[in-house]
């Protein structure tokens, strides 16, 4: 018997997993069978839309990982900073020209000195820096309150680029060539620094960010009510418009990044850099610039996610915790996979919602179900659903 | 936002007697015990730590503001019995590890000087309950869980004292109110939709359910939990409604009640399903954040939400305590988001700390001689109207929490400030950072009455 088990260990393990999966499916199926169709459809819609937001957050983490191999624990706080910057521009009618000018100048300075501070010795580069700063300042301050969307978007863009470049320049760049683990630990330190900076700059009181507001009513967009399906579903299902917007933005970002990584020289260079930084440098790729772009892009993605999350529930330091909830989605989809981030986010979103539907009182949806699914997937596909299989020669 | 503050002030002026508020400094409202010992040259530290940057930050930030204002107030008047007043605090970010670390640091750094500690949350109270007892340090907290105040058996009074009634008792009190108001709550069934921490779970105990059932109010056995980071809680709210709930009760704050109220509006159930909660749902932050979603009648989703109000509120300006705190709030140019429960209560906490120390020092002879056990002896025998009536400290016979409560409802002011708005047309609207804002007001529905004692049952 022992010999049989030993010989067929692998098959038996798989059989056990299959049995557990079937048992789980039967249990869930039985639970769902007692529910109205409206509840199941509603849960599916909520999971899909919430999952889209998770996917957007996961995308930022994946982009960094894809290019540098670093798992960014500061992503949640980059979301908070981005959201807060957006709020700072969105919530006032008149923007301080000095503040906006400083932000623009700092951003342009960081962009132009990405490769080397000597770049600024050239007259042409100096002119570009000054021109860029003036243009950004103008976009951030021109007009009155009716231009707040433009002010906020430009300010957030500049702030995100500045944050991403600063993080890369002062914390990640000095670690090039060092073990990856050191850089990962550095992101933990960056998270705490951003936490402190946010607290000092914006305080800890929750801020209202009414971006999903219907101008006609002054209220958040009314949800789409599926009244025509009420009879068929035996109840009402609704679709929240702000989550749809977030979901659509997430989809646009995904397809954009898939194309970016596949067809642009910068994207290809980022992929090459993630494979081996030293090798990439030896073939003429500017690793420092590529890493800087990566961090700026990730910070921008984090800012978008922060604004969307802040608009949906309010802007607070708690937003940073969303990134922690997204980690299973990142691992599920595969650490380097753009499409995996979206799929992972959606799966985790749906699993969370169904877990909550079946047992909200024990927090099955948030505390258990995503991790059980993650565990099952990792057993079958250790690199995640879309992760790259790595074969190392020993 | 400044205008909002001005309008709130205007509301208060119209609402009650506030003669010459801006001109004359109002007298301190408490009848503090006379100092028998001169403490000139000494420093009386107010120790506190808790979550200033995590999930509770919305309500705890004003704690620091109020203590800063209070310390400045006393020091500008020669201190307490001559002793300079100071505050020593740390932010734990809502982390238990950080709270433990702060406690260790406080006890090792300040040693015997640390006899009285102010805590903010039930979680910290539960974590430190045994350690406070062992180190003989008294702790004041605005509201605690059963375990933090009375231990796991609910019968063992510890070293923590809460000024508000236990959340479970507040819930029992709400059931009394529901049972006595069939015109508002016909065939009442309550479902919890709440946060999953110690604070959020308070009131979900079987004892509360049994008590309410005895009053004819059913409570669903399964609470529905959500996290402060959740963007969509349709599933939880619908679970409760499908379970039969026509009242949703919540132990959440800031975005929590606002999110539930918004979800009810999304489902078109804002009239059918009533929303109620613990005292923190009546906070200003909820009134402001709850404006993100408007009901079909154009008023904010949280309009009409019920909640406990075991202390006086900002609008009750006939009270010298509220007049005084309001004057200090104005003089220190605090912002509208700080005009909340925490700012009001913290002035009360400071008052009770000062009274406790004066009584204890009078008894033991000096500040240095004061021990935690002395403080405890004083608090145990205290029967004290905080700030002359903001709330009451009476911890006789092993009580560790407040015993009186009343119910209130959150409404929005109408334009001529004579009552409540019925819609945007007659509402008082002021300029806020993101457009026009309604002005929230809290209206008491009952007198102060004893809460039921549900712990340990």
Contact between B276 and B303 under an 8 Å Cβ cutoff? The reply is: no
The pLDDT value recorded for residue A393 is 62
Q: Distance from A59 to chain B by nearest Cα, in Å?
A: 19
pLDDT, tens digit, 9 for 90 and up, residues B84-109: 999 999 999 888 899 999 999 999 99
User: What is the CATH code of the structural domain delimited by B167-309+406-450?
Assistant: 3.40.50.2300
Q: Distance from B270 to chain A by nearest Cα, in Å?
A: 14
The pLDDT value recorded for residue B69 is 96
Burial of B134 (0-12, 13-18, 19+ CB in 10 A): exposed
- Is position A68 within any domain? yes
Residue B438's φ and ψ, nearest 5 degrees, are -80, 155
Tokens of residue B26, six digits: 């109002």
Chain B residue numbers touching A203 (CB-CB < 8 A): 61
Residue B436, beta-bridge partner list = B431
Nearest alpha-carbon partner for B219 in B149, B168, B286, B294: B168
Q: Is B297 on the interface with A (CB under 8 A)?
A: no
Nearest alpha-carbon partner for A317 in B244, B91, B173, B390: B91
The pLDDT value recorded for residue B398 is 87
Question: Which chain B residue is nearest to residue A322, measuring alpha carbons?
Answer: B229
- Among A204, A208, A240, beta carbon nearest to B57: A204
Q: Considering only residues 130 to 169 of chain B, which have any Cβ-Cβ distance to chain A shorter than 8 Å?
A: none
In our burial notation (b when 16+ CB lie closer than 10 A, e otherwise), range A254-267 reads beebeebbeeeeeb
Q: Considering only residues 229 to 258 of chain B, which have any Cβ-Cβ distance to chain A shorter than 8 Å?
A: 229-232, 234-236, 238-239, 242, 254-255, 258
Q: Distance from A240 to chain B by nearest Cα, in Å?
A: 8
The pLDDT value recorded for residue B21 is 46
Q: Is B285 on the interface with A (CB under 8 A)?
A: yes
Residue-level pLDDT, tens digit, chain A, 394 residues:
778 888 887 788 778 878 887 887 888 787 777 788 889 999 999 999 999 989 999 999 998 988 888 899 999 999 999 999 999 999 887 788 999 999 999 999 999 998 777 777 888 889 999 999 999 999 999 887 788 899 999 999 999 999 999 999 999 888 877 888 899 999 999 999 999 899 888 877 778 888 888 877 778 888 998 888 888 888 888 999 988 988 998 889 888 888 988 899 888 888 888 777 778 888 888 888 888 999 999 999 999 999 998 888 888 888 888 888 888 888 888 888 888 899 999 999 999 999 888 887 777 777 788 888 888 888 888 888 887 766 666 6
CA B401 vs CA B165, B202, B342: distances in Å:
5, 14, 17
pTM confidence score: 0.83
Q: Is B336 on the interface with A (CB under 8 A)?
A: no
Neighbours of B392 (CB within 10 A): 18
Q: Do the chains contact at B255 and A353, CB–CB below 8 Å? A: no
Q: How far apart are CA B34 and CA B51, in angstroms?
A: 35
Q: Domain locations in chain B?
A: 2-21+33-162+315-389, 167-309+406-450
The DSSP 8-state label assigned to residue A301 in this structure reads: H
Tokens of residue A27, six digits: 């249990």
Chain B residue numbers touching A238 (CB-CB < 8 A): 234, 266-267
Q: Which of B56, B235, B253, B260 to mutate to test the interface with A (most CBs of A within 10 A)?
A: B235
Q: Is B339 on the interface with A (CB under 8 A)?
A: no
Q: How far apart are CA A38 and CA A228, in angstroms?
A: 12
Helix (H, G, I), strand (E, B), or coil: what is residue B308?
strand
- Is position A23 within any domain? no
User: Measured in whole angstroms, how far is the alpha carbon of residue B403 from the centre of its chain?
Assistant: 14
- Is position A1 within any domain? no
**Distance between the two ends of chain B, CA-based, in angstroms?**
47
The pLDDT value recorded for residue B23 is 52
Q: Distance from A208 to chain B by nearest Cα, in Å?
A: 6
Contact between A20 and A272 under an 8 Å Cβ cutoff? The reply is: no
Question: Which chain A residue is nearest to residue B290, measuring alpha carbons?
Answer: A208
Q: Do the chains contact at A218 and B435, CB–CB below 8 Å? A: yes
Q: Distance from A340 to chain B by nearest Cα, in Å?
A: 22
Tokens 């700092």 label which residue? A106
What's the structural domain count of chain A? 1
Helix (H, G, I), strand (E, B), or coil: what is residue B395?
coil
Q: How far apart are CA B271 and CA B258, in angstroms?
A: 15
User: Measured in whole angstroms, how far is the alpha carbon of residue B324 from the centre of its chain?
Assistant: 18
Q: Considering only residues 426 to 455 of chain B, which have any Cβ-Cβ distance to chain A shorter than 8 Å?
A: 433-436
Q: Is B203 on the interface with A (CB under 8 A)?
A: no
Chain B residue numbers touching A209 (CB-CB < 8 A): 434
- Among B229, B285, B294, beta carbon nearest to A218: B294
- Among A43, A313, A316, beta carbon nearest to B235: A43
Q: Do the chains contact at A360 and B224, CB–CB below 8 Å? A: yes
Tokens of residue A36, six digits: 């109205």
- Among A206, A222, A361, beta carbon nearest to B255: A206
**CA contacts within 13 A on the Cβ side of B171:** 34
The pLDDT value recorded for residue B42 is 96
Q: Is B27 on the interface with A (CB under 8 A)?
A: no
Q: How far apart are CA B97 and CA B373, in angstroms?
A: 27
Helix (H) or strand (E) holding B391: strand B391-394
Average pLDDT, integer, range B103-131: 93
Chain A residue numbers touching B262 (CB-CB < 8 A): 220
Q: Where does chain A have alpha helices with state H?
A: 2-7, 9-33, 37-68, 75-90, 97-112, 123-141, 148-167, 180-202, 230-233, 241-263, 265-275, 277-282, 287-313, 320-333, 338-359, 369-380
Residue B412, beta-bridge partner list = B440
Q: Do the chains contact at B267 and A236, CB–CB below 8 Å? A: yes
- Is position A387 within any domain? no
The pLDDT mean for chain B works out to 89
Neighbours of A27 (CB within 10 A): 11
Could you tell me if residue A206 is left (phi over 0), alpha (psi between -120 and 50 degrees) or otherwise beta?
beta
Q: Where does B180-270 have alpha helices with state H?
A: 198-201, 206-214, 234-242, 255-266
Tokens of residue B107, six digits: 């006890």
- Could you tell me the residue range of the domain that residue A166 belongs to? 37-94+144-380
Q: How far apart are CA B294 and CA B274, in angstroms?
A: 16
- Is position A385 within any domain? no
- Among B225, B227, B291, beta carbon nearest to A361: B225
The pLDDT value recorded for residue B90 is 92
Nearest alpha-carbon partner for A296 in A156, A198, A393: A156
Tokens 């393990």 label which residue? A13
Q: How far apart are CA A301 and CA A92, in angstroms?
A: 24
- Among A50, A316, A317, beta carbon nearest to B231: A50
- Among B224, B234, B337, beta carbon nearest to A361: B224
Q: Considering only residues 104 to 123 of chain B, which have any Cβ-Cβ distance to chain A shorter than 8 Å?
A: none
The pLDDT value recorded for residue B93 is 83
Q: Do the chains contact at B433 and A50, CB–CB below 8 Å? A: no
Contact between B418 and B444 under an 8 Å Cβ cutoff? The reply is: no
Q: Is the pLDDT of residue B160 over 70?
A: yes
Confidence class of residue B1 from pLDDT cuts 50, 70 and 90? Answer: very low
Q: Do the chains contact at A46 and B234, CB–CB below 8 Å? A: yes
Chain B residue numbers touching A77 (CB-CB < 8 A): none
Q: What residues have CB less than 8 Å from A242, skipping those under 6 apart?
A: A212, A220, A221, A308, A311, A312
- Is position A173 within any domain? yes
Q: How far apart are CA B179 and CA A368, in angstroms?
A: 38
The pLDDT value recorded for residue B110 is 94
Nearest alpha-carbon partner for B196 in B204, B207, B206, B184: B204
Confidence class of residue B457 from pLDDT cuts 50, 70 and 90? Answer: low
Q: How far apart are CA B150 and CA B455, in angstroms?
A: 8
Helix (H, G, I), strand (E, B), or coil: what is residue B346?
helix
Burial of B307 (0-12, 13-18, 19+ CB in 10 A): buried
The pLDDT value recorded for residue B15 is 43
- Among B57, B228, B231, beta carbon nearest to A205: B57
- Among A42, A204, A363, beta carbon nearest to B234: A42
User: Measured in whole angstroms, how far is the alpha carbon of residue A156 from the centre of its chain?
Assistant: 16
Tokens of residue A113, six digits: 């000195």
Q: Do the chains contact at A360 and B225, CB–CB below 8 Å? A: yes
Q: How far apart are CA A387 and CA A366, in angstroms?
A: 24
Architecture of domain B2-21+33-162+315-389 in CATH? Answer: 3-Layer(aba) Sandwich (3.40)
The pLDDT value recorded for residue B261 is 96
The pLDDT value recorded for residue A100 is 93
Q: Distance from B196 to chain A by nearest Cα, in Å?
A: 8
The pLDDT value recorded for residue B4 is 39
Burial of A367 (0-12, 13-18, 19+ CB in 10 A): middle
Neighbours of B40 (CB within 10 A): 10
Q: How far apart are CA A223 and CA B169, in angstroms?
A: 37
Tokens of residue A272, six digits: 């090459």
Q: Distance from B169 to chain A by nearest Cα, in Å?
A: 21
Q: Distance from A39 to chain B by nearest Cα, in Å?
A: 8
Confidence class of residue B9 from pLDDT cuts 50, 70 and 90? Answer: very low
Counted across chains A and B, CB pairs separated by less than 8 A come out at 132
Q: Distance from B125 to chain A by nearest Cα, in Å?
A: 22
Q: How far apart are CA A11 and CA A2, in angstroms?
A: 14
In our burial notation (b when 16+ CB lie closer than 10 A, e otherwise), range B348-386 reads bbbbbbbbbbbbbbeebeebeebbbebbbbbbbebebbb
Chain B residue numbers touching A205 (CB-CB < 8 A): 57-58, 61, 285, 337-338
Same fold, B2-21+33-162+315-389 and B167-309+406-450: yes
Q: How far apart are CA B114 and CA B120, in angstroms?
A: 17
- Among B255, B266, B294, beta carbon nearest to A238: B266
Tokens of residue B11, six digits: 């509301």
Q: Distance from A102 to chain B by nearest Cα, in Å?
A: 23
- Is position A85 within any domain? yes
- Is position A177 within any domain? yes
């Amino acid at each position: 018997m022992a010999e049989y088990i030993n010989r067929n260990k692998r098959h038996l393990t798989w059989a056990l997993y299959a049995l557990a999966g079937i048992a789980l499916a039967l249990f869930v199926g039985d639970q769902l069978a007692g529910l109205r169709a409206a509840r199941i459809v509603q849960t599916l819609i909520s999971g899909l839309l919430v999952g889209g937001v998770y996917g957007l957050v996961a995308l930022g983490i994946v982009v960094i990982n894809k290019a540098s191999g670093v798992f960014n624990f500061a992503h949640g706080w980059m979301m908070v900073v981005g959201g807060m910057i957006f709020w700072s521009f969105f919530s006032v009618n008149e923007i301080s020209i000095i503040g906006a000018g400083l932000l623009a100048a700092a951003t342009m300075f960081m962009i132009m000195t990405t490769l080397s501070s000597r770049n600024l010795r050239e007259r042409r580069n100096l002119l570009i820096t000054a021109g860029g700063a003036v243009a950004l300042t103008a976009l951030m301050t021109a007009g009155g309150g009716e231009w707040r969307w433009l002010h906020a978007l430009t300010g957030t863009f500049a702030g995100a680029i500045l944050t991403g470049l600063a993080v890369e320049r002062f914390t990640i760049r000095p670690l090039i060539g060092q073990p990856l683990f050191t850089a990962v630990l550095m992101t933990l330190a960056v998270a705490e620094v951003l936490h402190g900076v946010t607290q000092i700059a914006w305080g800890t009181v929750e801020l209202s960010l009414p971006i999903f507001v219907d101008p006609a009513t002054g209220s958040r967009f009314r949800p789409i009510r599926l009244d025509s399906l009420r009879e068929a579903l035996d109840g009402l299902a609704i679709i929240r418009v702000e989550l749809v917007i977030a979901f659509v933005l997430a989809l646009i970002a995904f397809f954009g990044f898939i194309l970016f990584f596949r067809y642009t020289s910068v994207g290809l260079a980022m992929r090459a850099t993630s494979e081996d930084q030293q090798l990439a440098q030896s073939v003429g790729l500017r690793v420092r610039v590529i890493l800087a772009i990566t961090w700026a892009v990730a910070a921008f993605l984090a800012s978008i996610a922060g604004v969307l999350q802040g608009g949906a529930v309010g802007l607070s330091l708690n937003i940073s915790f969303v990134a922690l909830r997204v980690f299973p989605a990142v691992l599920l989809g595969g650490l380097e996979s753009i499409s995996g981030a979206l799929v992972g986010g959606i799966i985790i979103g749906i699993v969370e919602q169904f877990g909550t539907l079946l047992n909200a009182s024990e927090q099955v949806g948030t505390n258990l179900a995503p991790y059980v699914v993650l565990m099952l997937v990792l057993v079958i596909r250790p690199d995640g659903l879309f992760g790259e299989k790595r074969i190392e020669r020993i | 936002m400044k205008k909002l503050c001005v309008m709130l002030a205007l509301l208060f002026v119209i609402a009650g007697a506030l003669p010459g508020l801006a001109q004359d400094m109002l007298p301190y409202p408490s009848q503090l015990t006379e100092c028998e010992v001169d403490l000139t040259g000494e420093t009386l530290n107010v120790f506190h730590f808790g979550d200033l940057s995590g999930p509770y930050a919305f309500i705890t930030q004003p704690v620091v503001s109020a203590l800063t204002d209070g310390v400045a107030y006393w020091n500008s008047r020669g201190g307490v019995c001559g002793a300079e007043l100071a505050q020593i605090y740390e932010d734990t970010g809502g982390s238990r590890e950080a709270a433990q670390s702060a406690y260790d640091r406080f006890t090792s750094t300040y040693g015997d000087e640390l006899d009285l500690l102010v805590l903010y949350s039930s979680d910290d109270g539960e974590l430190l309950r045994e350690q406070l007892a062992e180190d003989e340090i008294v702790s004041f907290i605005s509201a605690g869980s059963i375990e933090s105040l009375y231990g796991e058996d609910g019968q063992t009074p510890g070293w923590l004292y809460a000024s508000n009634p236990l959340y479970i008792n507040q819930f029992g009190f709400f059931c009394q109110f529901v049972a006595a108001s069939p015109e508002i709550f016909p065939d009442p069934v309550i479902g919890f939709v709440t946060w999953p921490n110690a604070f959020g779970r308070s009131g979900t105990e079987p004892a509360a359910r049994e008590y309410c059932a005895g009053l004819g109010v059913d409570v669903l056995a399964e609470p529905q939990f959500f996290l402060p980071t959740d963007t969509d809680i349709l599933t939880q709210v619908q679970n409760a409604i499908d379970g039969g709930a026509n009242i949703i009760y919540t132990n959440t704050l800031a975005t929590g009640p606002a999110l539930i109220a918004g979800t009810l509006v999304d489902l078109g159930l804002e009239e059918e399903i009533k929303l109620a909660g613990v005292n923190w749902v009546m906070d200003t932050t909820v009134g402001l954040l709850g404006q993100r979603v408007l009901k079909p009648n154009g008023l904010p989703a949280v309009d009409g939400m019920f909640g406990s109000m075991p202390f006086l509120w900002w609008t009750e300006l006939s009270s010298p305590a509220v007049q005084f705190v309001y004057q200090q709030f104005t003089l220190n140019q605090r912002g509208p988001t700080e005009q909340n429960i925490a700012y009001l209560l913290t002035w009360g906490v400071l008052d009770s700390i000062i009274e406790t120390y004066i009584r204890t020092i009078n008894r033991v002879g000096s500040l240095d001689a004061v021990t935690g056990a002395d403080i405890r002896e004083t608090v145990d025998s205290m029967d004290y109207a905080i700030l002359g009536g903001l709330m009451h400290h009476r911890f006789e016979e092993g009580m560790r929490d407040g015993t009186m409560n009343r119910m209130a409802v959150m409404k929005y002011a109408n334009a001529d400030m004579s009552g409540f708005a019925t819609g945007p047309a007659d509402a008082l609207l002021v300029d806020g950072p993101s457009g026009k804002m309604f002005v929230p007001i809290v209206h008491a529905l009952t007198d102060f009455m004893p809460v039921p004692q549900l712990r340990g049952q």
